[in-house]
Structure 1
Amino acid sequence: MRRAGEVRGVAQGVAVLRCEDETHPDIGTEVIDESLETVGRVVDVFGPIERPYLAVTPAEDVHVPTLVGETLYAR
């Protein structure tokens, strides 16, 4: 398990995470919270190479706005 990034906001029902550095999970990687519950999957990587953003589609039972400010992890 490694840090995926911090949830910075929501856009069109997708969580937008900011990575801490240039390393990031691949598209399709499962994303979890600190209690190891599945939050969703990475569907896009965009932005600057040094600290890209991730777009994460939420799992069915996840209410995305409640995640803003949380750190999520790649499984």
Structure 2
Amino acid sequence: MKFAGSVTAILGQRLLVVRSDAGQLPPLYTGVADAENRPVGKIVDLYGSVSRPYLTVLCNEGVCAYVGDNLYVIPESKPEKPGKKHHHASGRTGTDNSRRPKTGGSIWKKKSRS
């Protein structure tokens, strides 16, 4: 298993601050597990300096970790952004054109000389 970092602080009930190694920085939204390979949560933020990065891990419901615990990247977890919409292969469905401006014509109107 790839080392993700060690827990340095616990924020509230579900957030962990994890000190990571700059050479082995895992990607966002990757799952992490403890030393016994039990899933702990997923990485939701990366911050700090390039040489001393920190991770914020959102823990799963009912899972706890302690300061000093080592966390590891779950080998087969595919990073996926939360709230990502899945589109159909045919493109847009329905008649939702809310993204297009409703100008009624060209924005380059010719001025009349009267």
Query: How big is the alpha-carbon RMSD for the aligned residues of Structure 1 and Structure 2?
Result: 1.3
* Separation in 2, partners of 1:21, 1:8: 16
TM-score norm. by structure 2 comes to: 0.59
In the alignment, what sits opposite 2:17? 16
TM-aligned CA deviation for residue 61 of structure 1: 1.5
Number of aligned positions between the proteins? 73
In the alignment, what sits opposite 2:6? 6
Larger relative contact order (C-alpha < 8 A, sep ≥ 6)? Answer: 1
Q: Percent identity?
A: 36
In the alignment, what sits opposite 1:42? 43
**Normalized per residue, which structure has more strand?**
1
* Separation in 1, partners of 2:23, 2:51: 5
Structure 1, unmatched stretches of 5+, are: none
Could you tell me which amino acid in structure 1 is paired with residue 37 of structure 2?
A: L
* Separation in 2, partners of 1:34, 1:72: 7
Runs of 4+ in 1 over 6 A off after TM superposition: none
Which stretch of structure 1 is more off in the superposition, 5-14 or 47-56? 5-14
Structure 2, unmatched stretches of 5+, are: 75-114
Higher-Rg member (1/2): 2
TM-score norm. by structure 1 comes to: 0.88
* Separation in 2, partners of 1:39, 1:11: 15
TM-aligned CA deviation for residue 21 of structure 1: 2.7
